[in-house]
Structure 1
């Protein structure tokens, strides 16, 4: 069986959430 769409969505969220927070933190630091 291949990877289900649900697993792809979960993997995307797990990888995007820290990146989003790092981006927000970077914007705060480099005002």
Structure 2
């Protein structure tokens, strides 16, 4: 399967947002 640049960018952006939300949730639970 060939991914286009836009699909790769969307995947990276989604992963980044998910990581940030998970980090914020982890910090909130830690406190």
Q: Shorter-normalised TM-score: what interval?
A: 0.5 to 0.7
How far residue 14 of structure 1 moved from its aligned partner, in angstroms, is 1.3
Structure 2 equivalent of residue 30 of structure 1: 29
**Structure 2 gaps, min length 5:** none
**Structure 1 gaps, min length 5:** none
What is the TM-score when the length of structure 1 is the normalising length?
A: 0.63
- RMSD between superposed Cα atoms in Å: 1.4
Q: How many residues align structurally?
A: 28
